[in-house]
Amino acid sequence: MKEKKTAKQPLEETEQYLSNELQQNIHFLQSIYADCEDVVFRTFFISKTYKATLIYIEGLSNVEEIDKHILTPLMNEKDIERNKLPFILESKTPISKTKKIFTMKDCIKYIALGAPVLLVDGENEGYIYGLFKWEKRNIEEPTAEVGIKGPREGFTETLAVNISQVRRIIKSPALKMKSIRIGDYTQTNIMISYIEGLADQTLIKEVTNRIKRIKIDGILESSYIEEMIEDNPYSPFPQILNTERPDVVCSNLLEGRVAIFVEGSPFVLIAPATFFNLVQSHEDYYQRFFVGTFIRWLRYLFMAVAIFLPSLYVAVLTFHAEMVPTSLLLSMAGSREPVPFPAIIEVLIMEVSFEALREAGVRLPKQVGAAVSIVGALVIGQAAVQAGLVSPPMVIVVAITGIASFMIPRYSIGVSFRMLRFPMILLGGSLGLLGIMLGFITIVIHLCTLRSFGVPYLTPLAPLKGRELKDTLVRSPWWMLNSRPHLTGEYNKFRQAPHMKPSPEKGGE
């Protein structure tokens, strides 16, 4: 029985060194780039003597700069001696980013990145020139993490632009960037960023090792990396924070975390992440501390509402009617009289319809998406009440639940709460308040068992770290936040000088 042949990896046969025969090199590269009409092989003569070929991809390389800074100077150069040719190739091209390469693999790598590669007959080395040019999106305000105060810039799909935004905020040379390429075909550039002296070396090694072990055809978005490096892939809760705001990345780097930039994605991954880290908003730190604390507590309250309110409504109506005041119970019973379904079916119909309307509003074009979601909710809700399919109190409960879910600042963990709402409804409709308590205990136990790169998910509440609670349950003023959170291993404890509380008596000291 014949063995089935497997497809060869794109770069498996390109480890060989460049030959000093130009035609042999060009023949090999043309066989690699067969049926690639966008790959240009421009052959010319340097100083009318030495045959050379420039290889680049249209749309990725700057053709105008190639003509101006490579072809024109080299073709017009006169009387070059063979031993001076390498010096001329590096010095006569006014391009800041120039590099020698010696293998076919490097040729293919830099051609794919958009850097023109120059090969010369009689030379067993090539030259790459940093004349990249590709279309990129302008820096805009993040759409998923909007706020009243704070910077308005967001990341784009261009890795160099994203890194420059972080470099512009953190100017210290202690900010390190390590590059890894993942994907047999996409060769996606992954950049691991951290601040030396703040991030624990064990954490950096763990992040690096988890990314290096990924073997896949291609990486198209940072979510690919997120799914492959998290601790518990079967948990509904995200264990890695993703953001498109440079200020959020910088604040987490300053706390000793590691950021993962993915080429082609405007979302940067941050590890490790904790539950409280995911439910906090960047704007908590841009408001006055008592305003930030009030909003944070309001957010915690409505997080509970988003998960438990529909299930509590179903449980009370089905099993615990005696808990409702008589006048309110009579009013609710009167409103539910024409409804043919039990409370659990009623709430499931409304919740599923609400989620469908929310997703429809997101997927539709921006001009009609908001109108469809709002008008659809009003029209369908009113029509359902008039038709006797649902009761008015149920519409109010679902509406409050929807508003509560919108208060969760991160989409990834907000989706987790939306998913958990449905099993909680089933538990409340089948076992009443006992089922809700069992569901709550299950969620808490699950959260206590979760880890994010070895860091307990409920840190600093479980295990309890009293010093760090001042930036968890409340948002203490900046002059009280002297210490960094302790994540893993060794860490730089203090982030500012002590006794920073402002006082008129201190004057200009």
Give per-residue pLDDT as tens, 431-459.
999 999 999 999 999 999 999 999 999 99
**Domain of 420, in residue numbers:** 285-290+301-456
Residue spans of beta strands (DSSP E) within 395-470:
451-452, 455-456
Residue 334 and residue 443 share a domain: yes
Question: Residue 3 domain-assigned?
Answer: no
Query: How many folded domains does the chain comprise?
Result: 3
Mean pLDDT within 270-294: 91
Which of 75, 96, 129 delimits the end of a domain? 129
Please indicate, yes or no, if residue 238 is contained in any of the structural domains: yes
Q: What is the mean pLDDT of the chain?
A: 87
Of 94, 129, 164, which closes a domain?
Answer: 129
- Are both 259 and 240 inside the same structural domain? yes
C-alpha 49, offset from chain centre: 52
Q: Are residues 432 and 501 in the same domain?
A: no
User: Residue 180 pLDDT more than 60?
Assistant: yes
Vertex 241, ends 239 and 247: CA angle to 5°? 160
Reference 39, options 138, 141, 107; nearest CA is: 107
Residue 59 to residue 38: CA distance in whole angstroms: 8
How many Å apart are CA 121 and CA 337, to the nearest integer? 91
Q: Are residues 364 and 422 in the same domain?
A: yes
Query: Which of 135, 129, 475, 440 is CA-nearest to residue 290?
Result: 475
User: Is residue 470 in a domain?
Assistant: no
Q: Could you tell me if 269 and 195 lie in one domain?
A: yes
Asked, for residue 12, whether it belongs to a domain, the answer is no
Asked if residue 152 belongs to a domain, the reply is yes
Q: Which DSSP symbol is given to 32?
A: H
Average pLDDT of the residues in 212-240: 94
H-type alpha helices, 180-288: 201-212, 222-229, 246-253, 275-279
HSE value, Cβ hemisphere, 13 Å, CA-based, for 218: 6
Residue 354 φ then ψ, to 5°: -65, -45
Of 207-211, 342-346, 402-406, give the range with the top mean pLDDT.
207-211
Residue 176 reports pLDDT greater than 90: yes
Q: How many CA atoms lie within 13 A of 36 on its CB side?
A: 15
User: DSSP class of residue 341?
Assistant: S
CA distances 265 to 97, 124, 243, 423, Å, are: 25, 37, 11, 33
Q: Which amino acid is at 307?
A: I
Q: What is the pLDDT of residues 2-60, one digit of tens each?
A: 444 444 444 455 678 898 899 999 999 999 999 999 999 999 998 888 899 999 999 89
Instruction: Give 385-414 pLDDT, tens digit per residue.
Output: 887 788 888 888 988 998 898 888 898 999
Judge if 319 and 376 occupy the same domain.
yes
Domain boundary among 436, 456, 476: 456
26, two tokens: 């060009």
Q: Is residue 17 part of a domain?
A: no
**Contacts of range 491-495, beta carbons closer than 8 Å, 24 or more positions apart:** 491/198, 491/200, 491/256, 492/197, 492/198, 492/256, 495/254
Give the model confidence (pLDDT) of 477-495 as tens digits: 988 888 888 888 778 888 8
